[in-house]
Amino acid sequence: MALPAPLIERPMHADDVAGVGAVERASYQFPWSEPIFHDCIRVGYLCRVLETGDAIVGYGIASMGAGEAHILNLCVAESLRGRGVARRLLLSLLKRAELAGQQWAFLEVRPSNVRALGLYRSLGFVEVGIRRGYYQAVDGREDAIVCRLALKDLNPSGAVR
């Protein structure tokens, strides 16, 4: 199935938060609140949205400092999953981090999020640790797998050099 055209990536603004929040709530049992997204914009994190027409269909947020980028949130609307959209958005965040002088990228992911794990591994992320009980879950807490990527090892096609 073809992607909606055009699919535009741009900076996230405060007036995007309602649309971002809608995608977040449709995607996660324990979503971030809209004030968290506002705070990410306010403190100057790298906040990007994907839109088609007048609808937000994805977003990514990263913090940067001390040579490290931390991917804090990456989400694409259900209708676009499995079509390379999350890869495109993540690559954009990683390339922007590298251009900003960061050497490493880190992220956490639920072990149960097999699709996301596959994406991260395909880009060269390696598992470097576990954060026990990191995520809220229906039956208590779920661990997080901590992943790391040397940004110098990412090439424009998204494959590890």
Summarised one tens digit per residue, pLDDT across range 65-78 is 999 999 999 999 99
Query: What's the pLDDT tens digit per position in 69-103?
Result: 999 999 999 999 989 999 999 999 999 999 999 99
Domains and CATH numbers, the chain: 8-153 (3.40.630.30)
Distance between start and end Cα atoms, the chain:
30
Q: Residue 87 has which token pair?
A: 């890869």
> How do strand 104-109 and strand 46-52 relate by DSSP bridges?
unpaired
Q: What pLDDT is recorded for position 111?
A: 95
User: What sign does the CA torsion over 31, 68, 153, 155 have?
Assistant: positive
Note the pLDDT of residue 137: 87
Query: Is residue 36 within 8 Å of residue 7, measured between CB atoms?
Result: no
| Active-site residue identified among 120, 127, 134, 135 | 120
Place of tokens 């676009």: 80
108 catalytically annotated: yes
Taking the CA atoms of 151, 75, 47 and 65 in sequence, report the sign of the dihedral they define.
negative
Does the active-site annotation cover 120?
A: yes
Task: Say if residue 156's pLDDT is above 70.
Answer: no
Catalytic residue among 9, 68, 98, 108: 108
